[in-house]
Structure 1
Amino acid sequence: MDLRIDHVTVAGRDLDRLADAFGDVGLPVEYGGRHSNGVTHMAIVGFRDGSYVELISTIAPEAESPWWNGPIREDGGPCAWAVEVDDIEAVSADLRGRGVPVDGPSTHERTRADDTLVEWDLTFLGEGDAGSTLPFLISDRTPRDCRVRPTGDLASSPIVGVDTVVLGVPDLDAAARRFETAFDAGRPTLGSSDRLAATTASFPDAPVVLAAPDDGGWLADRLAAFGPRPVAYLLGVDGDDASRRPEVDTDAAGSLAGRAVEWLSVHHPVGRPYLGLVDARTRRA
């Protein structure tokens, strides 16, 4: 199965603060509207390949969200990811046949600020919050450009879109087996990351890097607080014009899974960089 990242999610207590944090570094944000659950609303940072970052919070402060309640209430930041599929019924059935816990498909919707109704189908995989380790599946019912389009000047930006999801996991081998079972991910390449204080596992044909903490540190603390889930997202870039890139944190450059990473100066709400830029023309390790 070709894993095409549809979107990744960043959760926090205040949607306006999330939007400001992205806008302040040069990533334009567009309000996306309220979800049909009546509790959450979202904003979008849309890229030219069709992928996007979803910023999500509750409409009313202190409200309990049916999805990602912990990351929203505790300013957890990166919390979930989704992959786009053409035939969600068929893919859901295939994954169920592989022994993956499957919930769905089910239909969901939100209403944009211009009163446009957006509808899609979702299938949740595995246990726990949607998209916390295995991605959830999404397929549009209404035209895709109703749900997402490039925001601001990102239609012509060097940023292509969301390239890779970095997942914090407590057990590297167990997590790798889940991806092999579900998506035929194959044998991962092991590495290490000083910035994450973790051992990593990356796959040649899957847009994901697994990271297990070596011994204590912030990643171990995050796993204790929120469980396995995304800790960072890498955005692919295919141009060399630095003047048209978002603001980077000059103290946070490094590498991950064999690829050079420039980390953006988006620290809210977690207090550390969690959005990186990588060369979209390089293959994953």
Structure 2
Amino acid sequence: MIHALDHVVILVEQLASAIAAYTAAGFVVAPGGEHADGATHNALISFPDGTYLELIAFRRPAPEHRWWRHVAAGPGLIDFALLPTNTTIAVATAADRGLMMNGPVPGGRIRPDGISLAWETAWPPSPDLPFLCGDVTDRAYRVPDADFWGHSNGAKGIAEVVVAVTDLVASVGRYAALLGVTPQAFPAEARIRLGESEIVLRGPDSGDPHVLDRLTRRGEGICAITLKGLQFPDLSPQLGAAIMAAPIA
């Protein structure tokens, strides 16, 4: 079962300068560590709803890396992950519905305090879909705890992830195969509730400038997020990523 949004991946040029920028924007940024392949390192911004933002930077050229292609387009939102109860079962269940995921693939990193983390990922066949990230070691070791939730900008969690797609009907079908739930379709978008967050699929006909920018610069994939409780309408100009306040219900 896939039961929640796990995290959003934000590519940055230099990790230290990105940490400074996000701190200046009112976030508490936790140290992450170096990934097992040595190509990337990260820092994390966690929220009370269990989700987090991953600031990731390349330490060396890595053309073999899934996210290396995004370097040419510059910093910004590049991917997001869902949290499965069991990665192997989630992959098998998706395959039964006709969607073939690549995985489970082992991964990990070493925290600055020396603790080794291990997880399993599974990767989708098309870039409109998220990847899966399931823990082998305790998730509490991977995700910063309440000591890092006191963001002065008021952010409490990820309300929405907006995904730019080229064919809304086709993407709805792929999400249904991945999750076992058919997204709620509207004329210009489709929505899937997952835990405390929503995934919003939008095509070029939606007129959303973030969608059009993503499709032009990177192709399909995550293009914007909204944060619960954020006290600033739009942090995009400051951070170079489409991070906005969720509408107040």
The TM-score range, normalised by the shorter chain, is: 0.7 to 0.9
Q: Cα offset for 1:190? A: 2.0
- Pick which of 100-109 and 205-214 moved more: 205-214
Match of 1:159 among 155, 160, 175: 155
User: 2 CA distance for matches of 1:71 and 1:152?
Assistant: 32
User: 2 CA distance for matches of 1:138 and 1:34?
Assistant: 17
Distance 1:31 1:204, change over 3 A: closer
In structure 2, the residue corresponding to 1:233 is in which secondary structure?
A: strand
Give the alignment's TM-score, normalised by structure 2.
Answer: 0.86
Structure 2 counterparts to residues 116-131 of structure 1, below 5 A: 116-127=115-126
Q: Which residue of 2 aligns with 1:225?
A: 217
> Contact 1:44–1:151 at 8 Å: present in 2 too?
no
User: 1 CA distance for matches of 2:15 and 2:240?
Assistant: 11
Give the alignment's TM-score, normalised by structure 1.
Answer: 0.76
Distance 1:94 1:187, change over 3 A: closer
User: 1 CA distance for matches of 2:87 and 2:210?
Assistant: 36
User: 1 CA distance for matches of 2:79 and 2:208?
Assistant: 23
Q: Which residue of 1 aligns with 2:235?
A: 264
User: 2 CA distance for matches of 1:171 and 1:7?
Assistant: 24
Match of 2:177 among 175, 178, 181: 181
User: 2 CA distance for matches of 1:12 and 1:104?
Assistant: 26
Q: Which residue of 2 aligns with 1:143?
A: 138
Structure 2 counterparts to residues 202-281 of structure 1, below 5 A: 202-204=191-193, 207-214=198-205, 219-237=211-229, 245-246=230-231, 248=232, 262-264=233-235, 267-270=238-241, 274-278=242-246
Q: Number of aligned residue pairs: give it.
A: 245
User: 2 CA distance for matches of 1:217 and 1:159?
Assistant: 24
Percent identity between the aligned chains?
Answer: 27
Root-mean-square deviation (CA, aligned residues, Å) is 2.7
**Letter matched to residue 204 of structure 2:** P
Which string of whole-angstrom CA distances, capped at 9 and with x for unpartnered residues, describes residues 200-226 of structure 1? Answer: 322355721112123796643431321
- Pick which of 31-40 and 132-141 moved more: 132-141
User: 2 CA distance for matches of 1:151 and 1:77?
Assistant: 26
